[in-house]
Structure 1
Amino acid sequence: MSVTAVFVELCAKVTYGPLIRVAKHDRRAEKKEYLLANKLYTVDAGHAFHPVRPNLVMVTDCSELTYGIKNEKKLRLSAVKDLYDHSIIAWRVAPTETAQLVTDTIKLALKNNNGIKPKTMHSDQGSAYTGGEYNTFLAGEGIIHSMSRPGTPGDNSPMESFWSHLKTERFAFEQALSEVEMMKQIEDTIHWYNYERRQETPNGMTPMEYRNHAVKEIA
């Protein structure tokens, strides 16, 4: 057997370990990081969804809406909700969910709220909310950004509840055929939600009734 053949045979018997080490995820560290990011998560594995006054904690999210003859057209609706009274403070729509859309929604919320800023703004960890534009704006306004844990929609259940009411109690019975009709439907539905739909949590009042009642008490 030639020297070359012997070398090849020896190489075939040698087992080489990986040349590149793959970094292992530290699951405990990741879990701790996610919990620290979620300012509404409490030590008893609950959620601080009941602030003591308006304008203290707000939540935000986006949801897809469809319209057209066959519901073939889509819009993304972004909204901001005050956790105290459940009122929708602001909303905007765009073809897709972007950092600009969610940032513009927060800006509109501050404008509609006479410049009053919440202490905390909670969202999920969608790319629009983890991007630089959104976080830079919140930091510049001195607003704490709280985020849900990945794959845990219950961490933002107040917004999930709003989407459910919006779609099952209104949109399921009204089909918008054009973008103009869709915009009008959104506007009417949010007005209904804020001013007409009574809720069990705010003492059987509508969100705006409860909000106005709280403002008078604070004043």
Structure 2
Amino acid sequence: MPKPYPREFREDVVAVARQRDPGVPLRQIADDFGISETCLQNWLRKADIESGARPGTTSAESAETRELKKRLRLLEQENEVLRRAAAYLAGEPEARWFPKMIYPLVRELAATGAPIRVPVAVACRVLKLHRQKYYAWLNQPVTEAEWEQAHRMNALIDAHRDDPEFGYRLLRDEAEDAGWTMCRRTAWSLAAQAGLVSATQRRRRGKGKKPGPPVFDDLVLRDFTADAPNRLWLTDITEHRTGEGKLYLCAVKDVFSNRIVGYSISDRMKARLAVNALEHAVARRGDVAGCIVHADRGSQFRSRKQARALHRHDLVGSMGRVGAAGDNAAMESFFALLQKNVLNRRIWTTRQELRIAIVTWIERTYHRRRRQDRLGGLTPIEYETIMNTNLALAA
């Protein structure tokens, strides 16, 4: 089943179709963007519904209805947990509240034949239990030693609740007074498991943040060639001023045909801009596992979000040196063309106006009309069509 087009791409196509010159048919717009006319008509109809120009249920209303149904079902499950827990714990001593003593109730609620079946995750959240520990208990019943350890821990918790300033040594003394003897080492271990820390203990300094992802090695070494599609992608970000402020474009280029396989446009240059461009490229190209994605050392391409996106699609990251523009020269050449043919042609009043001009030039002119000497006098679309056919016949 083919992947759906990214939302940003659909919005750009609809905007171009709405602002087309008089006499330009929808079929031409659809051909320029490589989609069918029926698909474009469906996008326009949905856009009219979203804007209120046509009656119908908007995506926001559908999402709200689904969310309300989901919330109602969740509330019924939470109410069932509280009702069953009140009956299950009625008349029991406080020690009964130790987590492993309530696990049988969670198992009953999650049983297939339960009147209102409650998932384990919901029951554990309402009862403030850990799912991992519940599943561990489910695989191995509670032993006598665990029963005693549970009561010892409850005694330490009760002592800590009464005197938060006590450390594990004083908590052990209080637990022994309550009838639960243990050595100091056991008291320390149980207090650590329960997170019982003296209120007077000093906290460790530092922000506690994880370090960012490491910089990728340069796997390209300025060799901007590929013998097949989806072997080497280049990506970078450019910006241009408008009357409303700056507009940022992140593009992904396939070196094989020089085609812009993905792009994202936004008014903010954040990591999400690079991730959206990469997701756009993956959605349009299909099987891209093993493809090298080469970028500069900008913070957007070194972010955790970008690293996770590369890992999620089995892509290989690559980065040039600091301050070496030639390490991504093939991508810079595309931005130079864009600058000369679109960005610097006039003064742009709004971001939307410049956005439409950019996507129209990429999809209509650069991909389908601008012939390149490197491709043998063909456009990127023509070159890919011919070469893909040849590769299929050779296979």
TM norm structure 2 = 0.43
Find the aligned partners of 2:312 and 2:306 in 1 and give their Cα distance.
Answer: 10
| 1:195 matched to 2:362 | no
2:252 corresponds, among 80, 89, 93, to: 80
5+ residue gaps, structure 1, are 1-32, 42-46
Find the aligned partners of 1:150 and 1:174 in 2 and give their Cα distance.
Answer: 33
The CA deviation string for residues 118-158 of structure 1, in whole angstroms up to 9 with x for no partner, is 52000000001111110122122211100011000111011
Query: Alignment length, in residue pairs?
Result: 178
The 5-angstrom pairing of residues 77-156 of structure 1 reads 77-117=249-289, 119-156=291-328
Q: Percent identity?
A: 28
2:218 corresponds, among 38, 58, 73, to: 38
For 1:29, the equivalent position in structure 2 comes to: none
The CA deviation string for residues 54-104 of structure 1, in whole angstroms up to 9 with x for no partner, is 111101010002222xxx621110100000110001111112221111011
Q: Is the 8 A contact 1:57 1:118 kept in 2?
A: no
TM norm structure 1 = 0.76
2:225 corresponds, among 46, 50, 62, to: 50
**Structure 1 or 2: more strand by fraction:** 1
| Cα separation, partners in 2 of 1:79 and 1:118, compared to 1, 3 Å | farther
CA RMSD between the two structures: 1.8
Find the aligned partners of 2:276 and 2:359 in 1 and give their Cα distance.
Answer: 17
Find the aligned partners of 2:236 and 2:338 in 1 and give their Cα distance.
Answer: 13
Using the TM superposition, give the Cα deviation of residue 171 of structure 1 relative to its aligned residue in structure 2, in angstroms. Answer: 2.4
Find the aligned partners of 2:331 and 2:362 in 1 and give their Cα distance.
Answer: 13
For 1:12, the equivalent position in structure 2 comes to: none
Using the TM superposition, give the Cα deviation of residue 185 of structure 1 relative to its aligned residue in structure 2, in angstroms. Answer: 0.4
User: Is the partner of 1:184 in helix, strand or coil?
Assistant: helix
Q: Is the 8 A contact 1:54 1:214 kept in 2?
A: no
User: Is the partner of 1:78 in helix, strand or coil?
Assistant: strand
Find the aligned partners of 1:175 and 1:189 in 2 and give their Cα distance.
Answer: 16
For 1:211, the equivalent position in structure 2 comes to: 384
Which structure would you say has the larger RCO, counting Cα contacts within 8 Å and 6 or more residues apart?
A: 1
User: Is the partner of 2:257 in helix, strand or coil?
Assistant: coil
